[in-house]
Structure 1
Amino acid sequence: MAIKLFAAIDVGSFELELGIYEISVKNGINKIDHVRHVIALGKDTYNNGKISYELVEEMCDVIKDFAGIMQSYKVIGYRAYATSALREAKNNQIVLDQVRVRTGIEVQIISNSEQRFISYKAIASKDAEFSKIIEKGTAIVDVGFGSMQVSLFDKDALVSTQNLMLGVLRIREMMTDVQVSTKMQNTLIEEMVDNELYTFRKVYIKDRQIKSLIGVGESILYLSRGSNGGKAVEWITAEEYVGFYEKLLKMSVDQIQERFGVNAEYAALLVPAAIIYKRVLELTGAEMFWIPGIRLCDSIAAEYAEETKAVKFHHDFSEDILAASRNMAKRYKCHGPHTAIMEKYVLDLFDSMKKYHGMGKRERLLLQIAACLHACGKFISMKKSSESAYNIIMSTEIIGLSHMEREIIANVVRYNGVEFDYSRMHLNEELFRNTKGELSKEDITILMAKLTAILRLANSMDRSHKQKLSDSRMNVKNGQLLVTTSYEGDITLESVAFSQKADFFEEIFGIRPVLKQKRRLT
């Protein structure tokens, strides 16, 4: 297969980056050029809530230069992603429009969970090391300029991921007005980090053993080189890191600039980053640090390579999304056997209706996640479980899902228990402006109706929570969806519930679901 030339642009909180990549089935992903420009967009956002006109001017000039470089390489495709600085800016749509009009480059704002997930894909592209390290307890620690993400793996499975507002630029801006000595400032940063990590450890780590950390983020790349005299380090022990950290704290800003080859503004960010990584090491008791050298541009290229099937990953990322969802369901005490059979039923219904619903693999995954989480609201309120479930899902990041996908799931779970009213459907306008893709509000509403109809019918099939219809077979025949079971006991409760949900299902798909119980002849 021919080599593809691809460009990735990262509109970050502290810098703009362009990566040019060769992507092929034979050789994988190879970076052939990399350009970066320091511009503290996050400083404006985190302090004022908006990006200033002066910075917009500078950003447009740089991205226009990027476009020229892309044209000279004759790239066949590109993706430009913006992260927290633009995500949180109140004037982000004006900024994006200016960039599009003045440079011709379409920049998409991605959610935090999408950003971390594609970084995770780039790590997984280093297949041998990644597969080996996650066999035992592992945490990916992704420290960015706006926030940090900690993702926990246990026995190859992603068990939890959480975003903490501990980005190095955000911390530095918070410390700007604190008039204390450098030593005291470092102590205050430690206390800020500890305050966030203490809750994380108590809720998510508990007795879990973490053997290794995977360090991701711009700062860790500089720290790894600085710890080895300018040469990149891929593996470092906890003991070696602590020794390096103690030396770093004794350096002046000028010494840090010289040692790490950065300007004064960037040098001021390296100490907060080093503190964060050190506190995570101590919190988890990890023995080893793996630094795979991943930037967001590398992650964008990995995402593109996977989606275009230019590179095949051996790791199943959909299973990670499901594992995180199942752990979320477990946290909210969802009934295990009922949730498991719900997953089976929704997938069986979905697959039996393929010719009629027009949905694909991604919608199937969203439906399965909705089945996992459909009862989580009962943890908060038995009376208002539907609204509680909606609020839980919208308040919890699920790695790999966009904000829009999360809102789809949250609404499907909500309307599983209350009337589906098209006229009262409220979708977050901000999500439509900031989400990837081209689905209209009408498309989203219809999609939610389809998924809700399937979820409701599946839920009715286990109304007694005794998995009576676990042997059921499904097929569409003569305008009916026949659900046939050989269960010989009483299924009155399931039959009544099934009939109640059949009308809405027929309204959405034009096919009447019918439950049949086969009885043995005596």
Structure 2
Amino acid sequence: MAATEHGFVVIGAQSVGFSITNLRTLKELERGKYPVAIGEDIFAAHQILPETVDAIVAAFTAIQQLFADYGVKAITVSGSHSFFEAQNAQFVWDQLLSRTGWAVQPQTLAQESFYRTQAVFARFPHFSEITKTGTVLIDISSGSVELTAFTDGEFGFSRNLSLGPLRVYEVMSDLQRTVNNYVEVMQDYIDSRLLDFMRLLPHAEQYPNMILMGSALSLFETLIPTGERMVETDRDGFDLIYREVTHSSDQYLSEEYDLPINQVEQVLPTVLLLYRLVKTLNSQRIFISNLKLLDGLEADAAWGAGFRPVTLDPTKEIIQSAQNLADRYQVDVAHRDATVTFVLQLFDRLKKLHGLGKRERLLLQIAATINDIGSYVDTHKHYEHSDYIIRASELMGLTRTEQEMVATIARYHSSDLPQLNLGDLPEMGAARRLIIAKLSALLRVADSLDASRQQKITALRVSLRPDAVVLTATASDDIALERWTLQQKGKFFTAVFGLPIELKGRTSR
């Protein structure tokens, strides 16, 4: 088996899916799933039951045999965000590791959104053409809804809401036997949860196109022709589906749409949720896709392996997500952009000194973009507010650990300092603590270079000498404040890298 073949496994709310994929071509040699009712455990009992763990182990064992038959060595095993919502998720993770040898990688909601976006970039027909006008991607899993918007062909923003159809059904199942107007009550419940969510969305943009995808769309996937990725309908066609579902029995839906009877219970909340989103966003063209999280993992792995099945660099989405967060908290754009420019120049010119790579550069860029968001709460100790806001936010494409690293770097960009032995970062391993220290030191220097918030420095030369790092600035005005600030904040740089750093400059007028 060629080294380009990669095995993927995803634990979702309703099944364990898998594929064997050629990363060079994104062609799948095998793909399938094992039905496992994990979500029913999580949303009803808030934990994964022993018999469900047994079912996951059985699925893993069968998939392992298939991978072995194909000779697949490179394997990625992921668990959806809903899987890790279970109260006993860590215990189950350890049981799966001990019984199968597979360590399940957790996915945050922001990561899942990132991978699904990669899926549509890589596999959705005519995606670049469709997104020339406002397009919203709605991904519905059993436990949540992810809304990702595109304008003029570019990623705009992403929001998540914990309102998946299985979650709605489990919350409201008792009502079905006690009220006559169950559909109306469920609609009211969905509307109440959507109200604040929709209020936070940008209102200036129009989204005439809607792409629907996700593990909860079993009903709609029966409409997609075999071998195709999607089917298109319009508002009238979607209204017909809505009226049929809200006036039909479970038995009829099961037979008409070829659904297992245990999935029919999710059809009503799925359709009610989508109907409200279509109405609110006033979308006219509706594309129903069978793309899954699995497709996004394949595309991202191909990009990471050096292949280019996706034309858009995925880091653009991550950076845009950070800029959206900065805009939401009204960060000073001019200072933000100046800081980002300086810090990336420092990183690139001092590679021999810090020895870090592309991923660390991206984390530094994100930290420089959002380090001041805490000022929205209070300028006093704003770095502390930045820390907890970043930890509580959704940053597309970052792992939970990476997001915590960014939050910590942002905390130490200002007057606060980590202990020199980094003992106040016990939650991070030694290697990550050192990365945080290096990136924080670089960010402190970059922030100093615009201490006046007037963008006086118009050009910067970075020189790494045996005995010092010298910054030579061309400025539009006196930079005495920047020089004094660097003397104070640059002490941590010297402690981390063992070299003093100084700022020289001249005015350009």
Q: What's the TM-score once normalised by structure 1's chain length? A: 0.91
1:217 CA drift (Å) = 0.4
Question: What is the rounded CA distance, in whole Å, between the counterparts of 1:232 and 1:124 in structure 2?
Answer: 12
CA contact (8 A) 1:321 1:398 kept: yes
CA contact (8 A) 2:245 2:267 kept: no
Q: Equivalences for 1:370-381 in 2 at 5 Å?
A: 370-381=367-378
- Residue aligning to 1:19: 19
- Residue aligning to 2:418: 420
1:378 CA drift (Å) = 0.8
Matched, 1:197 2:194: yes
- Residue aligning to 2:475: 487
- Residue aligning to 2:10: 10
* Gap change, CA 1:251 and 1:181, over 3 Å in 2: farther
CA contact (8 A) 2:222 2:258 kept: no
Question: What is the rounded CA distance, in whole Å, between the counterparts of 1:229 and 1:184 in structure 2?
Answer: 37
Cα displacement string for residues 462-482 of structure 1 (whole angstroms, at most 9, x for unaligned residues) = 010111112111121233221
1:125 CA drift (Å) = 0.3
- Residue aligning to 2:131: 134
- Residue aligning to 2:39: 42
Matched, 1:213 2:201: no
- Residue aligning to 1:93: 90
Q: Higher mean Cα deviation, 54-63 or 90-99? A: 90-99
Question: What is the rounded CA distance, in whole Å, between the counterparts of 1:229 and 1:491 in structure 2?
Answer: 66
Cα displacement string for residues 74-107 of structure 1 (whole angstroms, at most 9, x for unaligned residues) = 2242211111333112322221222222223332
1:315 CA drift (Å) = 0.8
Unaligned 5+ runs, structure 1: 429-439
SS of equivalent residue, structure 2 residue 266: helix
* Gap change, CA 1:517 and 1:311, over 3 Å in 2: closer
Question: What is the rounded CA distance, in whole Å, between the counterparts of 2:91 and 2:470 in structure 1?
Answer: 52
Q: Equivalences for 1:283-294 in 2 at 5 Å?
A: 283-294=280-291
Matched, 1:392 2:389: yes
- Residue aligning to 2:440: 452
Question: What is the rounded CA distance, in whole Å, between the counterparts of 1:485 and 1:232 in structure 2?
Answer: 54
Give 1:420's aligned amino acid.
P
Question: What is the rounded CA distance, in whole Å, between the counterparts of 1:186 and 1:40 in structure 2?
Answer: 25
- Residue aligning to 2:336: 339
Cα displacement string for residues 299-319 of structure 1 (whole angstroms, at most 9, x for unaligned residues) = 222222221123432112211
Question: What is the rounded CA distance, in whole Å, between the counterparts of 2:507 and 2:115 in structure 1?
Answer: 51
- Residue aligning to 2:106: 109
Cα displacement string for residues 30-58 of structure 1 (whole angstroms, at most 9, x for unaligned residues) = 23333222222122222333211121112
Question: What is the rounded CA distance, in whole Å, between the counterparts of 1:229 and 1:447 in structure 2?
Answer: 49
Give 1:170's aligned amino acid.
R
Out of 301, 304, 307, the position equivalent to 1:304 is: 301
Question: What is the rounded CA distance, in whole Å, between the counterparts of 1:365 and 1:85 in structure 2?
Answer: 27
Question: What is the rounded CA distance, in whole Å, between the counterparts of 1:461 and 1:233 in structure 2?
Answer: 51
- Residue aligning to 1:264: 261
Q: Higher mean Cα deviation, 216-225 or 409-418? A: 216-225
Q: Higher mean Cα deviation, 387-396 or 156-165? A: 156-165
Question: What is the rounded CA distance, in whole Å, between the counterparts of 1:346 and 1:190 in structure 2?
Answer: 49
Equivalent residue pairs, number: 507
1:181 CA drift (Å) = 6.7
Q: Equivalences for 1:121-520 in 2 at 5 Å?
A: 121-126=118-123, 129-180=126-177, 184-226=181-223, 233-417=230-414, 418-421=416-419, 422=421, 425-426=424-425, 441-487=429-475, 489-518=477-506
Q: Equivalences for 1:71-90 in 2 at 5 Å?
A: 71-90=68-87
CA contact (8 A) 1:306 1:312 kept: yes
Q: Percent identity?
A: 25
Question: What is the rounded CA distance, in whole Å, between the counterparts of 1:18 and 1:311 in structure 2?
Answer: 22
Q: Higher mean Cα deviation, 28-37 or 497-506? A: 28-37
* Gap change, CA 1:2 and 1:485, over 3 Å in 2: same
Q: What's the TM-score once normalised by structure 2's chain length? A: 0.94
